[in-house]
Amino acid sequence: MNDKTLDILKEAILLERRGKAFYTQAARNSESKSAKKIFEMMAEEEDEHINFLTKQFKSYVEKNQFTDFDSHTEEDSTATEILTEQIKKEIDAASFEAAAISAAIDFENRAIKVYSERAKEATDPKEKEMYQMLADWEKTHHHLLHQLNEDLKQDIWNDNNFWPF
């Protein structure tokens, strides 16, 4: 059994648990209904990652191999687009929600880095595929949060006449 493989799985599970805790707390503290929904959705997806990784960890410990899994498929983004438009109307770029979105981007970047690096290093094809799938899934989270953050920054610049020209 490869200790590096187990260490990465442990790190990944911990990373996802921290992400879930963060998103859950952000949802609780949000005054924006739309932001609350986005944070709850992110917490649910982190929970899916925890369950998936825990199953893989158990299989690797017991059988020294990863279980079969279906690749994550992209969810319908229409609902998310509607929510992000509502968030932009409900929150200010200097609000708690905006700060939480910015912090969430850092969480997602960390996850992408861990998963992408392990996908490159792994020699087991299933492990390689698993981490690439997780990295890609986290990239969808990152893209959503990054775009929302950029839109909020533009709004505050425009609303406050911050442009230097």
DSSP 108-119: HHHHHHHHHHHH
- Answer yes or no: pTM beyond 0.75: yes
Per-residue confidence (pLDDT) for residue 112, from 0 to 100: 96
Q: In this structure, what DSSP letter does residue 76 have?
A: P
CA distance 94 to 69: 41
Q: Mean of the pLDDT values across residues 21-45?
A: 93
What's the mean per-residue pLDDT of the chain?
87
Comparing CA positions, the residue from 138, 145, 140, 144 lying closest to residue 104 is: 145
Which spans in the chain are helix H? 3-29, 33-63, 78-90, 96-121, 125-159
C-alpha 55/C-alpha 50 separation (Å) is 8
Question: Does domain 3-65+79-158 correspond to CATH entry 1.10.10.10?
Answer: no
For 82-139, the pLDDT digits (tens) are: 777 788 788 876 688 889 999 999 999 999 999 999 999 999 999 999 999 999 999 9
Percent of the chain with pLDDT over 90: 58
- The residue among 112 and 32 whose pLDDT is bigger is 112
Contact call for residues 84 and 32 (beta carbons, < 8 A): no
